[in-house]
Structure 1
Amino acid sequence: MVHKNPSYKILFIIAFTLVGGVVFSQNNKQKQLETRRQELRREIQKINELRNENQSKAKSQLSLIEDFNYKISVLSNLIKVTNQQANLLTREINANQNKISDLRNELTDLKEDYAGMIVKSYKSKNQQSRIMFLLSSNNFKQAYKRLQYIKQYSDHQKKQGETIKLKTEELQLTNNRLLKQQEEKRKLIAENREIQKSLEEERKQHETVMASIKKDLNKYTAQIKEKQRESDRIDREIDRIIKAAIAKSNEKAGKSTSSSSFALTAEEAVLASNFVSNKGKLPWPVEKGFVKIGYGKQPSLVDKSLIVERNGVTIATEKNAKVRAVFDGEVSEIYKMKHINPIVMIRHGSYLTIYKNLSEVYVKVGDKVKTKQEIGKVFTNPSNGETTMSFTISKGFVKENPANWIYKM
C-alpha cells in the first residue's frame, strides 16, 4: 500500500492556488484591456462621425490642428492598448504551449505505466488464478492482506485509466484555448496594422496643416493670444457672478458677505454631499461628444512657447445637440455677454456647473432641474460647422477638472 506524503499534498494545493491566481489575474487584465480598447474604438467612431458631419465646412487651421491632435492621441492610445493585449496573449500562448508539452509527456508516462499494469495483470492471470493466489496463503491474515492488495491494484488500475481520460480532455481543452488565443492575436495584429495606417495618415495631414501655419506663425500666435484674452474675460465675469451669488447666500443666512464659500441650508448641504458622492460617475453634459480641449495649463499646439489655460473643458458634439444638467440642482444664473453666446450656471449646494456657448436656453433662473434634464442647445458656428460647448465645475471660486467628475471623460 502506498502512503501519501501530507506535506506533498499541501505543496500541490499551494502551487495549484498560485497558478490559478495568475490565470485569474491575466484574464482580469485581458478583460480590462479589451474594455479600454472598445472605449477608444467608440471614441474614434465619434470623432469620425462628427468630422464627416462638418466636412463640407471650412474649418480654421487652428481648429484642424486641435482635431488632428486629439485623434492622433486616441489612435496612439488604441495602438498601445492593442499591443498590450497582444503581448499578454503571447505570454498566455507560451504558457499554454508549455502546458500542452507537459501534458503530453505526462500522458505518455501514464499510458506506459497503464500498459505495464495491463501486461502484468495478464501474466498474473496466466500464471495463477486469483483464487489460487489467496488459497496458497499460510494463514488468514496473509490471505486478507493478499485480498487487499488485489483490490488496491485493481482500484489503482481503474484510477489510472480515469486519470488518462481526464488528462486527455484537459489536453484537448488547452489545445482549443490555444487555437482561440492564436486567432485573437492574429486579429489584434491585423487591426493594429490598420490603426497604424490611420495614424500615419492623420500625422501627414497634421504636418501639412502645421507647415501652412508656420509660414505665417505670427498671425496664428496672435489669434491664440486673442482667444486666451477672450477666455480670461469670460472667466473673470463668471467669477464676478459667483462672488455675487456667494454674497447673496451668506447675506440671506446672516453670515459675512465676504466669505469665499456658500452658506448652505440643511437641504443644500445634503445636495452638495450627494454631488461629491457621485464624483467620477456624473453623466456627460451632452449625450454624444468628446473632449477637444482639456482642462488646465498646457502648451499651445501651434507655438509650444505659449501656455494656454482653460478652467473647464471644450466638448465637440453633433449639430443640434442638447445640453443636459449633470446633476440635480437649481439654475442660479443665465448670463449673456456682448458677442458671447448664453451661459447657464446651475448650483448644487456648494458646487456649480457652468455650461457655455449655448444657442438656446430652456430654463430660467430659480428652476429646479434634475440629472440629465435638457437645459438648452449647443451653438453651431455657421462659418465652419463646428458644434462645441465649454463645461466647468467649480466649488466656490475654485475650478475643478471635469475629467475627475464626469464618467469616463
Structure 2
Amino acid sequence: MKLKKTLLLLFFVMFTIHGFAQSSAELKRRRDKITSELEKLNDEYTRISSDKKTSLKQLSLLKAQIDLREEKIKTANSEIRLLDHQISDNSNNVRSLQSQLDQLKKEYAAMVLFAFRNQSAYNKLMFVFAASDFNQAYKRLKYMQQFGDYRRRQAGYIEGTQKDLHIKIIELDHNKKEKNNILIDQEKEKEKLGKEKDNQAEVVNTLSKQEKLTKNQIAKQKKARDQLNRAISNAIRREIEEERRKAAEEARIAAAKAKAENKPAAVAKPASKGTDVLSATPEAAKLSNDFLGNRGRLPWPVANGVIVGRFGMTYIQGIKTENPGVDIKTNAGAAVRSVFSGEVSKVENVDGSYLVVIRHGEYFTAYINLRSASVTKGQKVSLKQTIGVAGVDPESGDTQVHFELWKGFTPQNPQSWIAEN
C-alpha cells in the first residue's frame, strides 16, 4: 500500500512538472506571436503616420497595438507566475537532494571507518572462524560480501545524487535567469505601452481639433458599414424566408398526400419567427453544430495576415468607432478562402469591391473588400476553398480583407472563432 502511494505521488509530481513545461512553452509561443504581430502593426502605424493627415485609421491601429501590448504583459505575468512555481519546486528539490547527499555521505563515512578498522585479512578470517557452526560462518561470509556490495552501491547513490543535484542547480539558475529576462522585457513593454497611450491621446486631440474632418470620416465609415450590414442582413433575411417557404411547401405537399390517401393530415408546426428556422432541417442542424464545434479552430480567411482592426466598439475621449468584424492586412493578390463548408448566400459589388456571404446552417460568414469573386450565389463551397482575391483598402492603401461572422442577425467576434495564425 505504501509503495502504491509513493508511485502515485511520483506520478503526480511528474505530471505537474510536465504540465508546467507545456504551459510555459505555450505561453512563450504566445508571447513570441504577439511580438511578431506588434512588429507588423508598428510598421503599419509608422507608414501611415508618415502622412501628415491624421486619420481614424491611426487611432484604430494604436488601439490594436495597445490591446496586444496589454495582452503581452498579461502573458508575461503568467510566465512569471509559472517560473515562480518552478523556482520554488527546484529550490525544494535542491534542498532535498542536498539533505539526501549529506545523509549518504555520513553513512558512507561510517562504512569506510568500519572497513578501515576491519581491513586486515586476519580480522576478517577471525570474524568468520569465530562462528559457532558452519551455517553461522557462511552467513558471516555472505554478510561481508554484501557489506562490500552495499558500499559500492552507496558510492553509486552518492554519485547519482550529486549529478541530480547538479542538474537541479542548473535548472534553478536557468529559471532565475529566464524570469529576470522576462521582467526586463516586461518593463520595456510597459514603457512602450505608455508611449502608445501618449500617442493615442495625441491622435485623439488632433482629431478633436479637426472636428469637421473627423465627423466626416466617422460618417463615411458608418455609411459604408451600414450599407454592408444591410446587405448582410438582407441575405440572412432572404435565407430565413426561403426556409419558411420550403417548410410551408413541404407541409402543403404532405397534407395533399394525406388527403389523397384518405389519412389524417399531420398538424403543421407554426413557422418560426426567429432564426431557428435556419437549423430546422437535419442537414442544417448538423452544419450548425459542426460549425459551433470548431469554434476557436476555424482557419483564417487568408493564408497570411495580421489583424489591424479589432471587433467591437471603441470610445476614446469623445471619438466613437464601431467594428462589426475584423480587418486583416494581407499580401497583395492574396486568395480569400471560406473558413468552413457551406453555401454562398450572396455575391454583391459594393462601391467597387465585392461582398461574399456564405451560410453555414444558422451561422454566416461575410468576406468584404474583395477585388474579385470566384463564386456565385447558391454555389456549395468547401473548407478553405478560394472564393475571391483580396482588394486594396482605399484609406490605408494596403491589401486588406474585412471579415465578419454572424449567428442569425447577431454579429460575433471573429477572433474567438478563428485559430491562432
Same fold by TM-score greater than 0.5: yes
Flag the 1:100–1:329 CA change in 2: closer, same or farther, 3 A: same
CA contact (8 A) 2:341 2:381 kept: yes
Identity, % of aligned pairs? 29
SS at match of 1:125: coil
The corresponding residue for 2:315 is 300
TM-score (structure 2 length as normaliser): 0.80
The corresponding residue for 2:347 is 334
The corresponding residue for 1:115 is 109
Write the letter of the residue equivalent to 1:334. V
Q: Does 1:201 align with 2:201?
A: no
1:346 Cα deviation after fit: 1.7
CA deviations on 1:140-198 (whole Å, 9 max, x unpaired) are 34334433432442333222112111111111222332333344334334433443443
Write the letter of the residue equivalent to 1:303. G
Equivalent in 349, 372, 375 of residue 384 of structure 2: 372
CA deviations on 1:202-261 (whole Å, 9 max, x unpaired) are 233223212223335576357536634553343234222321233234434525697743
CA contact (8 A) 2:90 2:172 kept: yes
Q: Does 1:282 align with 2:298?
A: yes
1:326 Cα deviation after fit: 1.2
> Which gives a bigger RCO, structure 1 or 2 (Cα 8 Å, sep 6+)?
1
The gaps in structure 2 that reach 5 residues or longer are 251-270
Question: What is the CA–CA distance in structure 2 between the aligned matches of 1:327 and 1:19, rounded to whole Å?
Answer: 41
Residues 141-290 of structure 1: pairs in structure 2 closer than 5 A: 141-216=135-210, 220=214, 223-224=217-218, 227-228=221-222, 230-252=224-246, 254=249, 260=275, 261-262=277-278, 270-290=286-306
Q: Does 1:396 align with 2:396?
A: no
CA contact (8 A) 1:314 1:389 kept: yes
Flag the 1:50–1:364 CA change in 2: closer, same or farther, 3 A: farther
Q: Does 1:27 align with 2:43?
A: no
CA contact (8 A) 1:40 1:74 kept: yes
Write the letter of the residue equivalent to 2:337. R
1:344 Cα deviation after fit: 1.1
Equivalent in 83, 103, 112 of residue 97 of structure 2: 103
CA deviations on 1:87-119 (whole Å, 9 max, x unpaired) are 432442343244334433432332232122112
CA deviations on 1:306-352 (whole Å, 9 max, x unpaired) are 5x554433334444443221122332211234x47331112234432
SS at match of 2:419: coil
Q: Does 1:406 align with 2:400?
A: no
Aligned residues: 399
Question: What is the CA–CA distance in structure 1 between the aligned matches of 2:48 and 2:390, rounded to whole Å?
Answer: 15
Flag the 1:130–1:37 CA change in 2: closer, same or farther, 3 A: same
Flag the 1:364–1:25 CA change in 2: closer, same or farther, 3 A: closer
SS at match of 2:299: coil
CA contact (8 A) 2:369 2:393 kept: no
Flag the 1:37–1:390 CA change in 2: closer, same or farther, 3 A: same
Residues 60-139 of structure 1: pairs in structure 2 closer than 5 A: 60-126=54-120, 128-139=122-133
The corresponding residue for 2:254 is none
CA contact (8 A) 1:221 1:303 kept: no
CA contact (8 A) 1:100 1:174 kept: yes
Question: What is the CA–CA distance in structure 2 between the aligned matches of 1:107 and 1:231, rounded to whole Å?
Answer: 71
Question: What is the CA–CA distance in structure 2 between the aligned matches of 1:12 and 1:275, rounded to whole Å?
Answer: 46
CA RMSD of aligned residues (A): 3.3
1:74 Cα deviation after fit: 0.8
Question: What is the CA–CA distance in structure 1 between the aligned matches of 2:12 and 2:287, rounded to whole Å?
Answer: 46
CA contact (8 A) 1:246 1:257 kept: no
CA contact (8 A) 1:57 1:383 kept: no
Question: What is the CA–CA distance in structure 2 between the aligned matches of 1:357 and 1:137, rounded to whole Å?
Answer: 100
TM-score (structure 1 length as normaliser): 0.83
Mean Cα displacement is larger for which, 144-153 or 131-140? 144-153
